[in-house]
C-alpha cells in the first residue's frame, strides 16, 4: 500500500469510503437514539458538532492561507470552492438549523460535493496532511447533508431545490467573475481547469455542460423525496 500517493479505486480509496460511511452511520444512530429519549440533549449534541465543525473550518482555512508547506497560493488557498463554502454552511446549519442553511448543505453537500468521493481530485496519500484535511472537509459536507435527512428529519421539497439552484447559479456567476479577474479556477469554472477539461473548450461547451451537470446532480438528490411526496399525495386523494 502506497502511503505517499492516492489513486482512485485503490485500497486506500476503499478504506476512505468505508470509514466515512461508518462515521456518518454512527453519528446518525447516536443522534436518533438520543432524540428519542432526550430531545434537548440531542439539540446540544448537534450544536456541539457545529462548534467542532466551525473550529475545524477555521483551522483548515488558516492552514491553506498561511501554514501550508508550499506557502500561500492564489490559485488554491482562497476558501472559495463549493466544499469550502459548504463547510462553513454545515457549521452554521448545525448551530442554527435554519431551513435555508440546511437546504444548501444538503444540495451542495450530497448533490455536488459527493462527487469527490467518486472522482477525487487529490493525489497526495495518507503521509500528507492535505490528504486528511481533504477527506475530513468533504466528509463534513456530505455527511452533514445525510445527517440532517436521516437524523433530523429534513425532507427537501421542490421549492428547496429551486432555491438551491438559484443560489448555485448566483455563486457560480460570482466565481466566474473572480476567476476571470485573477486567473484562477475556483469552482472548476476557470479558463484553465484540468478536472473539467474533458467537457470541451471553454466557455462553450464546457460551462453550459457544467451548469447542466450541477443542476442534474442537485435534481437527482431531490428526486427520491419528490417521488415519495408524489406517492403520498396520490394516496391521500384516493377515495
Query: What is the residue range of 106's domain?
Result: 11-236
Confidence at residue 236, expressed as pLDDT on a 0 to 100 scale: 66
Average pLDDT, the chain: 93
Residue 76 lies in a domain: yes
How confident is the model over 23-30, as a mean pLDDT? 98
Whole-number percent of the chain with pLDDT over 90: 85
Tell me if residue 5 falls in helix, strand or coil: strand
Residue 103 lies in a domain: yes
3 DSSP 8-state letter: S
How confident is the model over 35-40, as a mean pLDDT? 93
Confidence at residue 96, expressed as pLDDT on a 0 to 100 scale: 95
Residue 235 — very low, low, confident or very high, per pLDDT cuts 50/70/90? Answer: confident
Residue 238 — very low, low, confident or very high, per pLDDT cuts 50/70/90? Answer: low
Residue 26 lies in a domain: yes
Q: In angstroms, rounded to a whole number, what is the distance separating the alpha carbons of residues 226 and 98?
A: 21
Residue 124: phi and psi, rounded to 5, are: -80, 145
Confidence at residue 186, expressed as pLDDT on a 0 to 100 scale: 95
Cis peptide before 205 (omega within 30 of 0): yes
Number of domains in the chain: 1
Distances (CA, A) of 100 to 32, 62, 166: 22, 27, 12
Residue 79 lies in a domain: yes
Residue 68 — very low, low, confident or very high, per pLDDT cuts 50/70/90? Answer: confident
How confident is the model over 40-54, as a mean pLDDT? 97
Confidence at residue 184, expressed as pLDDT on a 0 to 100 scale: 96
Q: In angstroms, rounded to a whole number, what is the distance separating the alpha carbons of residues 149 and 151?
A: 6
Cell numbers 457544467 correspond to 210
Residue 159 lies in a domain: yes
How confident is the model over 204-212, as a mean pLDDT? 96
Residue 2 lies in a domain: no
Whole-number percent of the chain with pLDDT over 70: 97
Confidence at residue 237, expressed as pLDDT on a 0 to 100 scale: 63
**Residue 9, Ramachandran bin (φ over 0: left; ψ between -120 and 50: alpha; else beta):** left
Residue 125 CB partners (closer than 8 Å, separation 6+) = 2, 3, 4, 5, 6, 12, 131
- pLDDT tens profile 134-190: 999 999 999 999 999 999 999 999 999 999 999 999 999 999 999 999 999 999 999
> Between 234 and 78, whose confidence is greater?
78
127 DSSP 8-state letter: T
- CB 89 within 8 Å of CB 97: no
- Which range (6-15, 128-137, 228-237) has the least confidence? 228-237
Residue 1 lies in a domain: no
Residue 193 lies in a domain: yes
Amino acid at each position: 500500500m502506497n502511503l505517499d500517493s492516492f489513486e482512485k479505486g485503490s485500497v486506500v480509496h476503499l478504506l476512505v469510503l468505508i470509514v466515512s460511511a461508518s462515521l456518518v452511520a454512527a453519528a446518525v444512530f447516536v443522534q436518533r437514539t438520543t432524540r428519542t429519549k432526550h430531545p434537548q440533549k440531542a439539540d446540544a449534541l448537534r450544536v456541539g458538532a457545529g462548534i467542532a465543525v466551525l473550529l475545524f473550518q477555521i483551522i483548515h482555512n488558516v492552514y491553506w492561507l498561511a501554514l501550508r508547506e508550499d506557502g500561500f497560493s492564489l490559485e488554491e488557498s482562497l476558501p472559495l470552492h463549493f466544499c469550502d463554502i459548504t463547510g462553513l454552511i454545515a457549521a452554521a446549519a448545525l448551530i442554527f438549523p435554519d431551513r435555508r442553511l440546511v437546504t444548501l448543505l444538503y444540495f451542495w453537500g450530497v448533490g455536488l460535493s459527493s462527487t469527490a468521493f467518486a472522482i477525487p481530485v487529490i493525489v497526495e496519500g495518507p503521509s500528507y496532511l492535505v490528504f486528511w484535511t481533504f477527506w475530513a472537509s468533504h466528509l463534513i459536507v456530505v455527511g452533514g447533508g445525510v445527517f440532517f435527512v436521516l437524523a433530523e428529519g429534513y425532507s427537501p421539497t421542490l421549492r428547496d431545490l429551486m432555491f438551491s439552484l438559484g443560489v448555485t447559479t448566483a455563486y457560480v456567476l460570482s466565481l466566474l467573475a473572480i476567476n476571470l479577474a485573477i486567473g484562477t479556477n475556483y469552482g472548476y469554472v476557470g479558463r484553465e481547469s484540468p478536472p473539467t477539461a474533458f467537457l470541451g473548450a471553454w466557455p462553450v461547451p464546457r460551462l453550459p455542460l457544467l451548469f447542466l451537470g450541477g443542476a442534474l446532480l442537485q435534481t437527482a438528490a431531490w428526486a427520491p423525496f419528490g417521488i415519495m411526496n408524489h406517492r403520498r399525495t396520490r394516496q391521500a386523494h384516493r377515495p
